[in-house]
Structure 1
Amino acid sequence: MAQLRTAAPGHYNNASASSFSTASCSGLTLYPHYDYDVFINHRGPDVKNTFASDLYCRLRSHGMRVFLDKPEMKVGHKITPQILHAIETASIHIAIFSSTYAQSKWCLDELLHMLKSLKSNQGTIIPVFYGVKPSDLRWTAKGAYAEAFHKHEMKRPSDTQIIRSWKEALSEVAEISGLELEAFNGDKGQLLEGVVQIVLKMVDETPLKYVAELPTGLKEKLEEFENTLLFQQDSVKAKVVGIVGLGGVGKTTLAKKFLNAERSDYSRASFLFDIRNNASKVSVNCLRQHLLKLLTQTDVQIKSISEGHYMGDDSQIREGEQPASQEQVLTRFPSLSRGFTVFEMETLVAATENFHDNNKIGEGGFGAVYKGITPEGNEIVVKRPSLNSRHATEVYLNEANLVPKIQHRNLVKLLGCCQEGPERLLVYEYLPNNSLDKILFDSNKRRQLDWQKRYSIILGITRGLLYLHEDSHLRIIHRDIKPHNILLDKNLNPKIADFGLSILLEEDETYVQSVVAGTLGYMSPEYALCGELSVKADVYSFGILLLELIGGRKNWDPSLETQIC
């Protein structure tokens, strides 16, 4: 078991207590004047998209009011009133110190306000050392924080006072007992659990706090609600009760009042807040995982959509070693709507003649692609990931979650999917002219690509990329633009395909650091060598494709004396 560092006297309790306290009290009591239970201070998309978002989701699922800033809040050069208000009205501040933390004046300014709030409102700060040590925060002559401050001093020679206050703030927080990733042997999941458990000890999650008084007329509704359940209490069947009404009429208040009043009748209970908003921020699997863990008292891990659906098939919710009831308990969570068809395996086996080689129209590192005909006579393409591929499931989930959300005439259309047993199949529209490389690099077929048609193909690909990069509600980097991933319809109109490697950019991100993936010969130098990925990587790949389309040959051909690149 990882232990907390021992703090200087007067800050927080020691490791054995596994809890924090302020200088003025041994256990923190939250009062209604706090608008937020927790404010999360962090830096960088690498932290926000992983640790910070998971922490936000976990704390919210425990009924806590958590503030995690959004990119659009950081405008101009000052902390926005919304962020400032959240800092001042939060009882707990979690500061996640990563290697890039000190590079951000936003984080440092927020830290100053957090310390100011701590001194005036008797709040508390929980430092989380995410890949750094407390000593890195102090005034050192070397290290990531020292380098960051050197850059601040070079850029802001006249801001010596504010830079000094940043350093003093970091030094002050470095003396506070916190959690270090190193103490958990680098296990980020265990670190996350440690933070959650500490916060739970500071904010008693049962019964639910901050329940408003019932609006006029709702007390009668609560009594009616209780009586309805009372008449059915002898039934052993699980119940799902929906409370329907307009926004603001007191549905959540009624539910919280009921849970507080009746919780003692149940061995386990959970109140998940704002599910729609939480699911859009991170993943609905996070909420499923928390609920199943609470019900089964085991560390349930949900890694995919289908696993969330079916993991209850052979399990019972137990109290000790005894089944909770004579009936098997199955918790089945509905996924978010995808807007496409879920095919049966039997249908796709018949459509492709049991995935016969005669129907195979393509093959790659992640699996094979087959042409099929549905019982209705429609031509389809079935992408079947290899069961032996380590990344097959990841690629499948990436495409199944992403492609239905983007619609453009120059993007291939996903018709549906199939999830049965170990199989994860994607069903796409069929395009009769297959991929661009099959025509472009065939000396006979290439003749149908006159200059007007090549221009039309170039224009279509450009429009598709522009949609992915700027015009859709998402910002998507395809990461593998090449002739093989450009499909052609019957009129040779292009459609970008294969989104298995695609990555989403946040609104405030210009690039991300990523594991290098794609096709050599089409990768931009900064991505291939350093893993620095931006929309420019797609533009570079498109440039290579453009040269191939004009020259009519591959960018690298060992049989030729000269190469395109």
Structure 2
Amino acid sequence: MYTLWLVGGIVILLLVKKLFDQKTEKRKKDAASSSSATQESDDSSSSGWDYEVFLSFRGEDTRTNFTDHLYNALLDKGIHTFRDNEALRIGEKIRPALLSAIQQSKIAIIIFSKDYASSKWCLDELAEIAESMKERGQGQIKVMPVFYNVDPSEVRNQTGRYGNAFREHEKKSDQDQEILKQWKKALEKVGELKGCDLKNTANGHEGELIKLIVNEVWNELRKNPLSVPNSMFGIHSHVEKMMKLLNNASEDRPIVGIHGLGGIGKTTIARELGELTDFVLPPMIG
């Protein structure tokens, strides 16, 4: 049994090393052919996805409670999730790195809390997400609105707190009217989508709502798996060998640890394993 685990681990390590070497080589070529500014632009438009989920939320409302619990629940499920760090914000303009994170995410979860619309930063994120919905065509971002103690009609029609927030924005003399229109249009568009309502979907139970969201994200990712890059073609034969080693007659439960830097293909390898058998891997390491 120990021998089987050892051989399986070696195969996985070899695959990960190959992916890591390819990624390192690509980075070297990018650095040699472009400046850091150009490289950032290239990264945001490259093929594939950097994140599986992008979280948009107002930190003062939900950062240390609902959003934090949701973020960790997604990570526990092995879902690569982007959560903005407010400490890194500079001014009120949405920074290029954040735009790139939105553009390179498969799913956007927008947590509409009571004061979400009072934040220009949140509204800029929302406008970018709404724009991504129409730009990508078949590969468009999947948007999942969460109405956290907010009625969907408040978001859609800008009434209640959302209406008050917009009146405050309109009072500011330096506020660009065109941007206001973009924000309103984005709220209308996303507010019309079917989402999760804390009060009506989970009877006010946050833990239950988080379970429902994570399950929906998981099912969506399984339905539309991350595209496998050309560099991974031919991996199937290696995976088949792994499955033969793991699918033994022993009653012991085999455990495979996949360790390495983020973005080198650990999750993709585990989906490849899942496509070939009903065998389920335990949570991955690293």
Scaled to the shorter chain, the TM-score interval is: 0.5 to 0.7
Does structure 2 retain, via aligned residues, the 8 Å contact 1:63–1:271?
no
Counterpart-to-counterpart distance in 2, 1:86 and 1:94? 13
Residue 92 of structure 2: SS of its match in structure 1? coil
* Alignment equivalent of 1:252, drawn from 237, 241, 266: 266
Counterpart-to-counterpart distance in 1, 2:123 and 2:76? 28
Alignment partner, residue 134 of structure 1? 152
Alignment partner, residue 377 of structure 1? none
- Relative to structure 1, the CA distance from residue 174 to residue 69 in structure 2 (aligned partners, 3 Å threshold; closer, same or farther) is same
Residue 166 (str. 1) matches residue 169 (str. 2) = no
Listed as ranges, the matches of 1:404-423 within 5 Å are none
Residue 54 of structure 2: SS of its match in structure 1? strand
Counterpart-to-counterpart distance in 1, 2:155 and 2:77? 31
Alignment partner, residue 72 of structure 2? 57
Counterpart-to-counterpart distance in 2, 1:119 and 1:202? 19
Alignment partner, residue 63 of structure 2? 48
Higher relative contact order (CA 8 A, sep 6+): 2
1:416-437 CA-partner distances (Å, limit 9, x unpaired): xxxxxxxxxxxxxxxxxxxxxx
Residue 203 of structure 1: SS of its match in structure 2? helix
Aligned-pair distance for 1:83? 1.1
Residue 263 (str. 1) matches residue 277 (str. 2) = yes
Alignment partner, residue 215 of structure 2? 197
Which has the larger share of helix? Answer: 2
Counterpart-to-counterpart distance in 1, 2:274 and 2:89? 38
- Relative to structure 1, the CA distance from residue 237 to residue 41 in structure 2 (aligned partners, 3 Å threshold; closer, same or farther) is same
Residue 86 (str. 1) matches residue 101 (str. 2) = yes
Listed as ranges, the matches of 1:111-510 within 5 Å are 111-122=126-137, 123=140, 124-139=142-157, 143-183=160-200, 184-204=202-222, 209-210=226-227, 229=246, 233-242=248-257, 252=266, 256=270, 259-260=273-274, 263-264=277-278, 266=279, 269-270=280-281, 272=283
Q: In the alignment, residue 64 of structure 1 is paired with which amino acid?
A: I
Alignment partner, residue 104 of structure 1? 119
TM-score (norm 1): 0.36
- Relative to structure 1, the CA distance from residue 241 to residue 185 in structure 2 (aligned partners, 3 Å threshold; closer, same or farther) is closer
TM-score (norm 2): 0.66
Aligned length: 236
Residue 49 of structure 1: SS of its match in structure 2? coil
Counterpart-to-counterpart distance in 2, 1:169 and 1:186? 26
Query: Unpaired segments of 5 or more residues in structure 1?
Result: 1-31, 277-565
Does structure 2 retain, via aligned residues, the 8 Å contact 1:127–1:173?
yes
**Larger CA Rg, structure 1 vs 2:** 1
- Relative to structure 1, the CA distance from residue 53 to residue 138 in structure 2 (aligned partners, 3 Å threshold; closer, same or farther) is same
1:430-457 CA-partner distances (Å, limit 9, x unpaired): xxxxxxxxxxxxxxxxxxxxxxxxxxxx
- Relative to structure 1, the CA distance from residue 133 to residue 213 in structure 2 (aligned partners, 3 Å threshold; closer, same or farther) is same
Aligned-pair distance for 1:109? 0.4
- Relative to structure 1, the CA distance from residue 163 to residue 251 in structure 2 (aligned partners, 3 Å threshold; closer, same or farther) is closer
What is the alpha-carbon root mean square deviation over aligned residues? 3.7
Does structure 1 retain, via aligned residues, the 8 Å contact 2:49–2:226?
no
Q: In the alignment, residue 143 of structure 2 is paired with which amino acid?
A: I
Residue 95 of structure 1: SS of its match in structure 2? strand
Does structure 1 retain, via aligned residues, the 8 Å contact 2:108–2:143?
yes
Does structure 1 retain, via aligned residues, the 8 Å contact 2:55–2:108?
yes
Aligned-pair distance for 1:239? 3.5
Counterpart-to-counterpart distance in 1, 2:266 and 2:84? 24
Residue 112 of structure 1: SS of its match in structure 2? helix
Q: In the alignment, residue 125 of structure 2 is paired with which amino acid?
A: E
- Relative to structure 1, the CA distance from residue 71 to residue 228 in structure 2 (aligned partners, 3 Å threshold; closer, same or farther) is same
